[in-house]
A and B are shown apart, each in its own frame.
Chain A
Amino acid sequence: MSNARQAGRLSPRSIVIWTAVALIGAVGWSMLALARGEEVSAAWMVAAALGSYAIGYRFYSRFIATRVLRVDKSRATPAERLNNGIDYHPTDRRVLLGHHFAAIAGAGPLVGPVLAAQMGYLPGTIWIVVGVIFAGAVQDMVTLFFSMRRDGKSLGQMAREEIGPVGGAAALLAVFAIMIILLAVLALVVVNALAESPWGTFSIGMTIPIALFMGFYLRVLRPGKVSEVSLIGIVLLLFALVAGRWVAESSWAETFTLEPGTLVIWILAYSFIASILPVWMLLAPRDYLSTFMKIGTIGLLAVGVVVTLPTLKMEGITDFAGGGDGPVFAGSLFPFVFITIACGALSGFHALISSGTTPKMIQKETQVRMIGYGSMLMESFVAIMAMVAASIIDPGLYFAMNAPAGVIGDNVQAASEAVKNLGYSITPEQLAAAAKAVEEGSLLSRTGGAPTLAIGVSEIFSKVVGGAGMKAFWYHFAIMFEALFILTALDAGTRVGRFMLQDMLGNLYKPFRRVSWWPGLLVSSAVVVALWGYFLWVGVHEPLGGINQLFPLFGIANQLLAAVALAVCTTLLVKSGRLKWAWVTAVPLVWDAVVTLTASWQKVFSTDPKVGFFQQRSVYQDAINDGKVIPPAKTMDDMNTVVTNSTVDGVLAALFAVLVVVVLLDAARTCVRAIRNPQSAKLNEVPHEESQIVAPAGLIPTKEEKAELAAAGPSEDSR
């Protein structure tokens, strides 16, 4: 490292380059923010995001790595010290970046921005970019660092050891409850995407025999040959996709045209069976398929957006931002945009990945910046692309697809009228034509984000490959890609939930803890599926719209988990004598806690029946007592359903908030004690051990690193 760098000064060349990058970003932001009443090119959104990411990565993440965390390249990582050639092994940074990115990015960053687009593209875009730079990527990187210093301990373990038993127990319970809601909402997205769609249902159904075949191939025929079996799997998958069209046009169509209620049963049965089958049969092969599809589709989407540079048709800020009366989700911009977009800006779930698998594989301490911060920036860009996809479609179509059925009605005339009432316009003919173009029966009230995203993706892809004739194919391609990894997540998530439940039940009755004890396995799997299945069932039959009611709960849950992770990080910064720098995680923690607790508060106590669950409950209960039915409910049964659901949802929102307040208070107590008496702070960090590995910190080795690599000579870990 040159002297100029060490002093923190930049060379004239860097100053020129970084000024140019800053200018590109600034021009992008100005074009987005200042455009009024005219259509803006998506190029500006891409420029604003990429310019800001580059600045954030170059300056802020570097500051965190060197000043705050003081990453130490002479210190051996768990992968180096405990190398066993299996789960602990020093992994090439570029490979680990791919691993980590594939593990954190899923349906989340694609769904949230689509829903948040009801307030216009600007609030969501600002939050995605600013949020990731100052909160999301910081959380991922700092969690990764501290877990790495503790041999890859999980977030729950760190909470227990570093904060205390009470905070630790609350954190564990919170993770479990959050998992249940997450699984229910993800499943709901799939149900809404596949309902009444024979093409989609058939091709997704076919993924099961394909995965079983792949599993058999890997277990029996050619063990370990992952790339060849994945290639076969992808070819079969694309064939299933093409075949879906034939099925939809044949006499079989009816068999695969399923109502939402029927799909729920199928999905629950699938998830329960899949979660008790051996991993090699379904889960492992599905994982390979969905990872390839994910990386491929996201890559294609990035290329498509950059090549076609579509124009944004959605307004920058819609009237729903201020009014809080949007049809997709209720509530005003603050706090609800910040919980609707979780993954992509700040996602608590990443803390579970950053503590666990990745820290056991990292080669050099210095690489936490690239792996933790870098891959979160990549995920954020995925969210930006989802925002582009949602904003390039006609706003009238957007609202017809995303408002609950109670608002939109069940025919194109009613929908056209309803969209007009929302302040947008689309003719019944246009609505029918849009559905026909993608060969779906109807696009009305296809909530959950996936169908809207698929429409946007089909617009973009068909401009690059195939033209308008390929729209239907690309639409179903996008649906399949989302449904594929959501179904995998349902299986994997049920297993994780079961594992946590087995652990908890093991305190009461010992055998539960043994993973091979069949009765315990069956019972706990059934309990977990029943828990999220309940919310899925409720969501599908919710007169007020399942996504409208449940998505805020999912957002609150995810952001509260982020609060737990940031509280653990802040506590660790304070305890390890970095009080001066604790604001790096404390500021996002405070912001996140304020946003999320405000949202929970409003969800519980708001007197607006659209927002507050208990107010909703009492409005409907009063109407029931008067013998009245208020729309969108159609029958007395609907009325009773609303009352039950709002009560459960309200209790859950309150429970999440209470659990997190407990964690925050316990963390604050630990921090205060550590500040008053620094000697008392007991850290569970693994002591320093000299590192023998020479490896670059970033993607491209610097001049100094190249010299170090050359001096170290060829080694098997450096390529």
Chain B
Amino acid sequence: MSPARGSGLLRAGRWARWYVRELTDESAYDRYVAHVRRHEGPEAPVPSRREFERRRTDAREADPREGFRCC
């Protein structure tokens, strides 16, 4: 995942996309799958994206202090 090659504009666009995906946690699933695969082998079972996103919001249900924002 090294910085993309290409013209400056393209690179800036890719960087912005990467930043937004990280900031919104849209990349959470990819990150989790990569994490599991790295630690438990490339064939390790992973939840589907749907399943994973459900678990993530449900976790917030259980402890609302996660992701709490200030005034």
Given A224-B53, A279-B57, CB of A85 within 8 Å of CB of B70 = no
Task: Identify which of A95, A224, A227, A489 contacts B69 (C-beta below 8 A).
Answer: A489
Task: Identify which of A106, A154, A186, A219 contacts B54 (C-beta below 8 A).
Answer: A219
- How many residues on chain B are close to A (CB under 8 Å)? 40
Given A95-B19, A515-B62, CB of A226 within 8 Å of CB of B57 = no
B21-50: CB near A (< 8 Å → 1, else 0) gives: 111111011011011100000000000011
**CB-based contact B29/A224 at 8 Å:** yes
Task: Identify which of A95, A103, A226, A279 contacts B70 (C-beta below 8 A).
Answer: A103
B interface vs A, CB < 8 Å?
Answer: 1-3, 18-26, 28-29, 31-32, 34-36, 49-50, 52-54, 56-71
Given A186-B71, A347-B70, CB of A95 within 8 Å of CB of B60 = no
**CB-based contact A85/B69 at 8 Å:** no
Chain A residues lying within 8 Å of B28, measured Cβ to Cβ, are 86, 224
**CB-based contact A99/B23 at 8 Å:** yes
**CB-based contact B53/A218 at 8 Å:** yes
Task: Identify which of A85, A103, A224, A493 contacts B35 (C-beta below 8 A).
Answer: A85
A interface vs B, CB < 8 Å?
Answer: 83-87, 89, 91-92, 94-95, 98-99, 102-108, 154, 182, 186, 218-219, 223-227, 230, 278-280, 283-284, 287-288, 291, 343, 347, 349-350, 352-353, 356-357, 485, 488-489, 492-493, 495-496, 498-499, 515, 558, 714, 716, 719
CA distance A106 to B70 in the complex (A): 6
Given A224-B26, A280-B57, CB of A350 within 8 Å of CB of B70 = yes
CA distance A488 to B64 in the complex (A): 13
**CB-based contact B61/A278 at 8 Å:** yes
Smallest CB separation, A493 vs chain B (Å): 8
**CB-based contact A356/B69 at 8 Å:** no
Sorted from nearest, which 9 A-B pairs have the closest CB atoms?
A: A85-B35, A495-B64, A108-B71, A226-B24, A223-B53, A85-B32, A226-B26, A95-B22, A280-B57
11 A-B residue pairs with CB within 8 Å: A86-B59, A89-B31, A94-B19, A103-B70, A107-B71, A218-B53, A219-B57, A224-B28, A288-B24, A357-B67, A489-B71
Task: Identify which of A95, A106, A719 contacts B71 (C-beta below 8 A).
Answer: A106
Residue ID in chain B nearest A99 by CB atoms: B23
**CB-based contact B64/A498 at 8 Å:** yes
Among B50, B52, B68, find the residue whose CB has the most chain A CB atoms closer than 10 A.
B68
Smallest CB separation, A85 vs chain B (Å): 3
Chain A residues lying within 8 Å of B18, measured Cβ to Cβ, are 719
Chain A residues lying within 8 Å of B34, measured Cβ to Cβ, are 85, 716
Given A84-B35, A186-B71, A343-B71, CB of A496 within 8 Å of CB of B1 = no
CA distance A658 to B28 in the complex (A): 44
Residue ID in chain B nearest A186 by CB atoms: B71
**CB-based contact A108/B54 at 8 Å:** no
CA distance A331 to B68 in the complex (A): 33
CA distance A468 to B58 in the complex (A): 47
**CB-based contact B36/A85 at 8 Å:** yes
Chain A residues lying within 8 Å of B24, measured Cβ to Cβ, are 226-227, 230, 288, 291
Residue ID in chain B nearest A104 by CB atoms: B70
CA distance A336 to B67 in the complex (A): 31
CA distance A492 to B68 in the complex (A): 7
CA distance A498 to B26 in the complex (A): 28
**CB-based contact A92/B22 at 8 Å:** yes
Residue ID in chain B nearest A95 by CB atoms: B22
Task: Identify which of A86, A186, A219, A493 contacts B32 (C-beta below 8 A).
Answer: A86
CA distance A182 to B70 in the complex (A): 10
CA distance A347 to B59 in the complex (A): 28
CA distance A98 to B67 in the complex (A): 13
Among A99, A104, A279, A493, find the residue whose CB has the most chain B CB atoms closer than 10 A.
A279
Given A86-B32, A224-B26, CB of A356 within 8 Å of CB of B60 = no
Q: Is the interface of A mostly helix, strand, loop or mixed?
A: helix
Chain A residues lying within 8 Å of B29, measured Cβ to Cβ, are 224
CA distance A515 to B64 in the complex (A): 10
Sample of 16 further A-B pairs with CB below 8 A, known A89-B31, A278-B61: A85-B34, A87-B59, A95-B19, A103-B69, A105-B70, A108-B70, A223-B52, A226-B24, A284-B57, A291-B24, A349-B70, A349-B71, A352-B65, A496-B65, A515-B62, A719-B3
Smallest CB separation, B21 vs chain A (Å): 7
Task: Identify which of A86, A98, A496, A716 contacts B56 (C-beta below 8 A).
Answer: A86
Chain B residues lying within 8 Å of A719, measured Cβ to Cβ, are 1-3, 18
CA distance A186 to B71 in the complex (A): 8
CA distance A288 to B20 in the complex (A): 11
**CB-based contact A716/B67 at 8 Å:** no
Given A102-B69, A108-B70, CB of A279 within 8 Å of CB of B35 = no
Task: Identify which of A92, A356, A488 contacts B66 (C-beta below 8 A).
Answer: A356
**CB-based contact B66/A87 at 8 Å:** yes
CA distance A84 to B35 in the complex (A): 7
Task: Identify which of B21, B31, B69 contacts A492 (C-beta below 8 A).
Answer: B69
Smallest CB separation, B6 vs chain A (Å): 15
**CB-based contact B57/A278 at 8 Å:** yes
Given A95-B19, A225-B26, A227-B24, CB of A499 within 8 Å of CB of B3 = no
Residue ID in chain A nearest B29 by CB atoms: A224
Chain B residues lying within 8 Å of A515, measured Cβ to Cβ, are 61-63
CA distance A87 to B63 in the complex (A): 12
**CB-based contact A279/B22 at 8 Å:** no
Chain B residues lying within 8 Å of A280, measured Cβ to Cβ, are 54, 57
CA distance A89 to B24 in the complex (A): 15
CA distance A488 to B69 in the complex (A): 9
CA distance A719 to B3 in the complex (A): 6
Chain A residues lying within 8 Å of B25, measured Cβ to Cβ, are 226
Given A86-B32, A89-B35, A278-B61, CB of A716 within 8 Å of CB of B1 = yes
Smallest CB separation, A430 vs chain B (Å): 33
CA distance A515 to B28 in the complex (A): 25
CA distance A227 to B24 in the complex (A): 7
